Amino acid sequence: MRIDTKVVHGKGKTVDPLSRAISPPIHTAAVFSFKSAEHGARLFTGEEEGYIYTRLGNPTLKILEEKMALLEDGEAAATFASGMAAISTTILALCNSGDNIIASSPIYGGTFALLSKLIPKWGIDVRWAKASEFGKEIEEQQLIDEKTKLILVETPANPTLDLVDLEEIANLSSKKNIPVAVDQTFATFYFQKPFKFGTDISIYSATKFIGGHSDSIGGIVVSNKELIKKIKDETLVDLGGVMSPFNAFLFLRGLETLAVRMDRHYANAKKIVQYLEEHPKIEKVFYPYLESNPQYNLAKKQMSGGSGLLSFIINGGREKGKKFLNNLNLMIVAVSLGAVSTLIEHPASMTHSTYSPEELEKAGIPEGLIRISVGIENIEDLIEDMDQSLNKTFS
């Protein structure tokens, strides 16, 4: 099956033999009964498989986990209450006090806050390397040591769309036996298959392209069976940030249309990039699938398309940028991404406001940067909206 068939028919769309329903059931039960005291005890020791309590496992969550493992080409998956729950649980599953993590910069503002403020409080050191020079900086600054327990990268990076070379980092880490986790939120399995390059863990904010409609928060981790056991059975069940079965249903429904949505997000993004590149009032456009982008060859090597996220700087920086946002009629000024509607925001004052001005500069996030998550609307309407707003902003 090709990927656009797999999202529809792949494991997960289980047919209940009794009802023959073609959509998955939402199992709302928090608790599952035992056939006997002995049966309950066997489920707890793991001698027999079965459901006990939804924090430990749930049939609707299982359908989503199996489907995501299949789509990402992994062995197993775990589902979480949010993308941040997926990231924090993965870190706590793999690192103890005294260990360290290497992370790529820039990174989503929430992940930055977790790594720079909370994680160090638990005695885990965080070392940063620039996304576009990741392998080089790790080697030059000798960031890896015997206490390095995880490498966490976001590629394309939020909000500058910088890429991390997945093959290079997988080669470097496998020599030292350190797992590499890739935040797949921007590209998804539709445009990028990190395991092909030798990485170990894929992390999603399912809130974004997986759901696709900005109506549910969730996170997903896909990996091999051994790491999922550590992350889910030995950590998530006790930390407790599990996904709601209602949201799992929405993510399963979202997955069925992911392929057609991603094609449209990408086609629209390419046209907007072209429009912005040619516009005299636009200083710079950030998009990996752009020939003038210094990482274009890497983009072509590890991605099959540019996805729907792009950023740009407008002449006149932050002040003109704000006017531009306020003059828009159709695009929605809002954070988050991956939705059917186009969402536009100013990272320095919104998604990345967890960075201080100095930290923004160090991470290479320009103050005047504007990020767009291009939706699936008609492209003429989107460009007309940008055009009228730019005309008003500079009149």
Ligand X SMILES: Cc1ncc(COP(=O)(O)O)c(C=O)c1O
Structure tokens at 259: 């392929």
Asked if 288 touches ligand X (CB under 6 A), the answer is no
Asked if 162 touches ligand X (CB under 6 A), the answer is no
Q: Which of 54, 58, 82, 88 binds ligand X (CB under 6 A)?
A: 82
Sign of CA dihedral 237, 243, 249, 255: negative
φ and ψ at residue 190, rounded to 5 degrees? -70, -35
Nearer to ligand X by C-beta: 311 or 393?
Answer: 311
The rounded distance, in Å, linking the Cα atoms of 130 and 137 is 7
Asked if 185 touches ligand X (CB under 6 A), the answer is yes
Only segment of 21-29, 107-115, 138-146, 193-201 that touches ligand X (CB under 6 A):
107-115
Nearer to ligand X by C-beta: 347 or 368?
Answer: 347
The rounded distance, in Å, linking the Cα atoms of 273 and 279 is 10
* Least Cβ distance, residue 350 to ligand X (angstroms): 10
Q: Which of 10, 74, 83, 254 binds ligand X (CB under 6 A)?
A: 83
The rounded distance, in Å, linking the Cα atoms of 288 and 136 is 20
* Least Cβ distance, residue 15 to ligand X (angstroms): 30
* Least Cβ distance, residue 337 to ligand X (angstroms): 6
Segment 164-183, which members bind ligand X (CB under 6 A)? 183
Q: Which of 154, 162, 200, 385 binds ligand X (CB under 6 A)?
A: 154
Nearer to ligand X by C-beta: 219 or 368?
Answer: 219
Asked if 84 touches ligand X (CB under 6 A), the answer is yes
The rounded distance, in Å, linking the Cα atoms of 84 and 367 is 25
Structure tokens at 26: 């939402």
Segment 189-228, which members bind ligand X (CB under 6 A)? 205, 207, 217, 219
Query: Of all residues in this chain, which one has the CB nearest to ligand X in the complex?
Result: 83
* Least Cβ distance, residue 191 to ligand X (angstroms): 14
The rounded distance, in Å, linking the Cα atoms of 353 and 369 is 12
Burial class (CB within 10 angstroms; exposed 0-12, middle 13-18, buried 19+) of 347: buried
ω into 366 cis (within 30 of 0):
no
The rounded distance, in Å, linking the Cα atoms of 287 and 65 is 31
The rounded distance, in Å, linking the Cα atoms of 343 and 310 is 11
Asked if 184 touches ligand X (CB under 6 A), the answer is no
Q: Which of 12, 24, 110, 179 binds ligand X (CB under 6 A)?
A: 110
Segment 291-350, which members bind ligand X (CB under 6 A)? 336
Nearer to ligand X by C-beta: 60 or 351?
Answer: 351
Asked if 58 touches ligand X (CB under 6 A), the answer is no
Alpha-carbon separation of residue 281 from 259, 323, 343, 365, 386 (angstroms): 34, 13, 21, 20, 12
Site for ligand X, rule CB under 6 A: 82-84, 108, 110-111, 154, 158, 183, 185, 205, 207, 217, 219, 336
